[in-house]
A and B are shown apart, each in its own frame.
Chain A
């Protein structure tokens, strides 16, 4: 495919323009310290986004239950580590991944058996999981997370001292995000499982006819989304150093928007990890830019809305132009 026909290309251009604008207003934007911060704050949504990408490629409607899964797994993992008086971060991840995968699998099973659209099922499980967390925790906030979360969230790569004496560096969260993206890319591009997800998104009946086990594929996708939500939950706890039962929910629309802006189709069968990453980065840069430009954070939602509309229009405009220039008939005697 030609470069300028890809939505990734437009996203890169858009991100570059926004970066240029922000830098022109506040040169602090283009410092390593700030960019590390942008990556760190984008990581949780970035991990969610890879899961959402899988669901969108599979087809049907998006999953909205992932923040609730992250919320539950985060709370349970923190409680578990408190209970054993420490432990390590790997245990926290293991608990969150397994629990998340089970919760996600339930989505997949319900969707497969009852043939209900994803968004309806996941609205239901969102409320179920989130509600149960509130009932069981009675809304108690865990203000103090165990040591391993501090260690994981506080580790900095390429650490150096800034002008004001503060130490800055690359957090492990973007590294985790990158690892998740590589795994996601590998599954989608290099495994039959990944191609089966695309096949089902293209035409599920045809996929059945060529022998795709649709139940297994669907079960995998939703378990994978749940597991990623678990990872994101631990990443989030390491970032904010607390487990508050309602601190993650509410990000679902922003994450879905980022994935769609990144070129994934709401009708299934289309989407890339690269585009998804760019969509997430765009929103993170916007949020950061508003802070640097001293604009009220209330404007963030407005700019996100505008960014989505612009992104969609660019896509639609590009398709319209392609259609207009399409040669339907080689008309005799017409100048090319």
Chain B
């Protein structure tokens, strides 16, 4: 059978740096190809070339055996190739109907808007994938999961032959992910070719017909059928076997808790949250999106403070009414969305790293002591192995894993007593993950208390000694990690 898409010897370099080197890739109609690779391995460049955003330097692209040269985005869409970008590329200020239908009405060269027709196009696309979203809702008001459905519906307003999904599950909760995967399988059954990009290996095993892996811009191989196991995939991605190092807490039983929370309540967010966190501990918080896990973290960090309840730091009652008080009390928070909440993207790596301790860096008078700053930046870039040639490069130029190290490093400079990590490895590849875990384990061993919030059961089980199961804004259970397997935790969370 002739493959739907066939790439031969695709190469691309930017300013002399090879992003892709002689890459061959095929995908058949009715096949789900998972494209994997660490951050910076060339996946994004490959998508841009396939979707017509950028031309390749050399190599050929064939769609159904036909040579496609220097195609634009519009031409690729005419070939039936559509991309769901990680950022979804939606207009947050427009309605669901417009977001879905507009690409098509523009393509058809319409001049006037017929709202009824817009809604009808949107409704037809939604019916095709069984989505039920109010067509008149404003997209920016929808949860991310529904926004993604909108982006997928948009792809269905044209004759779809190949759908490329760029890390579609990164910001979805488990129910939404299951819905998405079911949808992808259904598309496959209809003969649509799928390229699915993800870092999550369990998803790959779940959904893939074939896995192809990029490393340093080269196609390093594919796995199919029986070969699709966790270990084989990890080995293909990293070129070696990565054995996760489980966290073993070293807690001094005589020590008082570093953080005590009693009956913390915030209307419409969470109720009666009570727990202790001891120095040297990593406390996992497991729960679905919308269970209250993020809201609890935000209250502890003073971002949206609780209405009632008591917080003690090192045994002393510490009201937390705003972020300043939380920071002064030694609490640090690494947010879910590092790009919008955690970093100054345009600013230098070094400036980001010291941004939390800038007051301590002023020398005589009000000016920043540049020598001390440079020393501190160098120390943390070394300690965190951040890959950057020049600390004055902007953070946005770094890969996802390195950006995440900068966010964590930014807080480590303050030597926090309590570190709250919310989804610390979202969008981070396996090798970078292992490194972040190591940093966090070390921080706990040095006596900090760590709270780890995560979607991924294996992540929590491998990196905590105690787990709070959160559901409906309340702490439902407290588990000893030693006695809980990832599967059990997964089940408990999913059942909630």
Contact = CB atoms under 8 A, between A and B. Distances in A.
Partners in one complex: yes
Contacts of B471: 332
A203 B94 CA distance: 10
Given A203-B90, A206-B89, A209-B73, A196 B474 contact: no
Contact of B103 (A202, A205, A211, A269): A211
A206 B140 CA distance: 14
Contacts of B89: 203, 205-206, 209-210
Contacts of A205: 89
B411 interface: no
24 contacts: A189-B113, A190-B112, A194-B113, A195-B94, A195-B98, A198-B94, A199-B98, A199-B102, A203-B91, A206-B89, A210-B102, A211-B74, A212-B106, A269-B91, A329-B270, A329-B291, A329-B295, A329-B472, A331-B292, A331-B472, A331-B474, A332-B271, A332-B473, A333-B474
B268 A331 contact: yes
Given A192-B102, A329-B295, A331-B474, 10 more contacts: A190-B113, A192-B106, A199-B91, A199-B94, A201-B93, A211-B73, A329-B291, A331-B269, A331-B270, A334-B268
B102 A195 contact: yes
A194 to B, nearest CB: 7
Contacts of A31: none
B103 A210 contact: yes
Interface of A: 189-196, 198-199, 201-203, 205-207, 209-212, 269-270, 325-334
Q: What 4 pairs between A and B have smallest CB-CB spacing?
A: A331-B473, A202-B91, A332-B472, A269-B93
Contacts, number: 102
A270 to B, nearest CB: 6
A195 B110 CA distance: 11
Interface string B96-114: 0010001101110011110
B130 interface: no
Interface in B264-284: 267-271
Interface string B463-496: 0000000011110000000000000000000000
B85 interface: yes
Contacts of B472: 329-333
Nearest to A336: B268
A196 B94 contact: no
Contacts of B154: 210
Contacts of B106: 192, 196, 210-212
A193 B270 CA distance: 45
A326 B295 CA distance: 12
B57 to A, nearest CB: 23
Interface in B62-76: 73-74
